[in-house]
Amino acid sequence: MSDNIFTVNAPLSGTFYRCPSPDEPPYVEVGQEVNPGQVVCIVESMKIFNEVRVERKGVIQKILLEDEDPVMINQPMFELEAK
Amino acid sequence: MFRKILVANRGEIALRVIRTCKEMGIQTVAVYSDADKTSLHVQYADEAVHIGSHLARKSYLNIEKIIESAKKTGSEAVHPGYGFLAENASFAEACEENDIKFIGPSAKTHRLTGEKITSKKIAEEAGIPVTPGSHGAISNPDEALDVVKNMGYPVIVKASGGGGGRGMKIVHHDGELNEVLGIARGEAIAAFKNPDLYIEKYVKEPHHIEFQILGDESGRYVHLYERECSIQKRYQKLVEESPSPFLDNELREKMADAAIGVMRSVGYVNAGTVEFLVDENKKFYFNEINSRLQVEHPVTEMVTGIDLVREQIIIAAEGKMTIDQNDIHQDGWAIECRINAEDPDNGFMPSPGMVEQLIIPGGMGVRVDTGLYQNYEIPPFYDSLVGKLIVWAKDRPMAIARMKRALEEFRINGVKTTIPFHSRIMEDKDFIKGNTNTHFIERFEKARS
């Protein structure tokens, strides 16, 4: 992985959701530029919904999970290229 | 009697039901998701059926899959436990349509008790005291203002489809009322598919006290006394006990009669709970009916010696109960602590993961209901409740001493749990005195910080 590629990892284990609710579009798509503090997904752990935010500015290169997939703590969920 | 029962749940409550079935000589069928292949309920049951992915919606909430599993295994009845489909009228109906006995009240009863406005109206018509407020749903802001004018702030806006602390908002003045109604209606539609809202006077410093009732098809009702459930955080109970240190015998009798009165008016069959709020002047108000076996049912079992799941199964199978009010006594004192996989020192954040060490407390008067075992991986997909520690003793001081001792023995390493938090509650002066209204935890946490 080159220096300007970074990942957003799961802060805790649970279920990965790409959308704020089932009727709404995903938070982010591949190719989209995101800013620090922007929400990129939700990880539900034990019925608690946790919004996950990016810490650095970047462009989404890959989304490593499907909506509603199980996710382990520290598992990479997004790959981004730093801007 | 049934030959085979499917248990439509997971974790400690699935084990709880399976245990009684075994004692009654009834075969059991467990259902499980991808995340529960190694769970104890799967190992304890006579048969196990895989029903779907880790998502509750696709497994433990999947009515079609569960009915299909019951039919495939020749199960004559389904026990829903608590949570998941326990209070789902469509599930009870699906069971009825497929000639599978749902161990709980009828679909019709679930519809009625699920509508909080309707059940409050029924209670009121039966002469049971209810919290002052709007009679029925509020249709516009002017009507809401009228209701509030007669009783004053603060008031609480509730969703008819809510309950159990969900869909509630406190309003302190006229300026907030309109906005709160708008937000609450939106949320009620999204969460409960039911836009109906009602308004109640906010009861100050209330105790949450509920009565366990059994009813059968011949119209007989008995009560198994009360549970004091005031120790709550964000409307989630943490510690429960029976008896309630707040009630005297006269009030206890009155509330028990009221609880039976409500259940009789509903035509409730099987085990259910009537919840009351009791204010500082010991005035009580009907709050809601919980149409299921409750998490905290063991405290009732410990003081009465009656196995509630056994009674549920007998009522479902035979239509009538075998116990009489004269057989039911409230003997001694029981306390339950809910053991959640949460970090009490970090905002009660979920703490799923591997149980690296487990030591279960023992000795006289100690009961532990849990699905945990050493090297079990607590999945992050379901409720954080992983166990219940229940103690019984002759009186309250002895029960508190026993709970303290049992909590000290209880070791769950690898994940964070509420065990140390409970140890601190057992040392709290107000708790020891029995001063435990629903604001207890707020004050307790403030005093620590």
Q: Comparing A58-62, B111-115, B140-144, B237-241, which segment has the lowest mean pLDDT? A: B140-144
Over residues B342-358, the mean pLDDT reads 96
A46 and B55 within 8 Å at the Cβ level: the answer is no
User: In angstroms, how far is CA A7 from the centroid of its own chain?
Assistant: 9
Closest alpha carbon within chain B to A21? B190
Of A21, A46, A68, the CB nearest to B352: A46
- Whole-angstrom Cα distance, residue B223 to residue B7? 25
Instruction: Identify the pLDDT of residue B60.
Output: 98
* CB-CB contact of B308 with B398 (8 Å): no
* CB-CB contact of B313 with B2 (8 Å): yes
Closest alpha carbon within chain A to B347? A48
Instruction: Identify the pLDDT of residue B168.
Output: 86
Match 């059926």 to its residue by tokens.
Answer: B49
Over residues B347-372, the mean pLDDT reads 97
B384 and A14 within 8 Å at the Cβ level: the answer is no
CATH code of residue A21 = 2.40.50.100
Which two three-digit tokens encode residue B341? 């996989």
- Whole-angstrom Cα distance, residue A25 to residue B66? 31
Over residues B256-267, the mean pLDDT reads 97
Is B261 within 8 Å of chain A by CB? Answer: no
Over residues A58-66, the mean pLDDT reads 97
Of A14, A21, A68, the CB nearest to B380: A14
Closest alpha carbon within chain A to B382? A46
pLDDT of B139 higher than 90 = no
The distance of A46 to chain B (nearest Cα, Å) reads 5
Closest alpha carbon within chain B to A13? B380
- Whole-angstrom Cα distance, residue B239 to residue B425? 9
B382 and A47 within 8 Å at the Cβ level: the answer is yes
Structural domains of chain A, count? 1
Structural domain span for residue A72: 5-82
Q: Cα torsion at B182, B184, B186, B187 (round to 10°)?
A: 160
DSSP state of B1: -
DSSP string for B250-266: HHHHHHHHHHHHHHHHH
Which two three-digit tokens encode residue B419? 């065990």
Over residues A53-69, the mean pLDDT reads 97
Of B341, B353, B381, the CB nearest to A15: B381
The distance of A67 to chain B (nearest Cα, Å) reads 11
Of B35, B350, B382, the CB nearest to A12: B350
The distance of B302 to chain A (nearest Cα, Å) reads 29
- Across B144-206, where does the E strand assignment appear? 155-163, 166-171, 197-201
Asked if B292 is an active-site residue, the reply is yes
Task: Give SS3 for B131.
Answer: coil
- Whole-angstrom Cα distance, residue B218 to residue B321? 9
DSSP H helices, B267-324, are 297-304, 308-318
pLDDT of B232 higher than 80 = yes
B381 and A68 within 8 Å at the Cβ level: the answer is no
**Residues B16, B227, B252, B292: which is the catalytic one?**
B292
- Whole-angstrom Cα distance, residue B263 to residue B65? 32
Between A and B, how many CB-CB pairs are < 8 A?
A: 40
Instruction: Identify the pLDDT of residue B204.
Output: 85
pLDDT of A67 higher than 90 = yes
* CB-CB contact of B225 with B301 (8 Å): no
Interface probe for A, chosen from B349, B417, B418 (most Cβ of A below 10 Å), is B349
Residues of chain B found within 8 Å of residue A69, distances taken between Cβ atoms = none
B383 and A46 within 8 Å at the Cβ level: the answer is yes
Is A15 within 8 Å of chain B by CB? Answer: yes
Reported ipTM exceeds the 0.85 cut: yes
Structural domains of chain B, with CATH = 4-103 (3.40.50.20), 132-201 (3.30.1490.20), 207-448 (3.30.470.20)
pLDDT of B165 higher than 80 = no
**Structure confidence at residue B186 as a pLDDT band (50, 70, 90):** confident
Over residues A63-69, the mean pLDDT reads 97
Instruction: Identify the pLDDT of residue A18.
Output: 97
In chain B, the percentage of residues whose pLDDT exceeds 70 is 100
- Whole-angstrom Cα distance, residue B308 to residue B272? 10
- Burial state string for B345-363 with b = 16 or more CB within 10 A and e = fewer than 16: eeebbbbbbebeebebbee
Instruction: Identify the pLDDT of residue B311.
Output: 98
Over residues B114-138, the mean pLDDT reads 92
Q: What is the pLDDT of residues A5-49, one digit of tens each?
A: 999 999 999 999 999 988 899 999 999 999 999 999 999 999 999
B353 and A13 within 8 Å at the Cβ level: the answer is yes
The distance of B127 to chain A (nearest Cα, Å) reads 38
DSSP string for B343-376: ETTTTTEE--EE--EEE---STTEEEEE---TT-
Instruction: Identify the pLDDT of residue B237.
Output: 95
Closest alpha carbon within chain B to A44? B381
**Partners of B389 in beta bridges:** B337, B368
Instruction: Identify the pLDDT of residue A1.
Output: 56
Instruction: Identify the pLDDT of residue B192.
Output: 87
Is A1 within 8 Å of chain B by CB? Answer: no
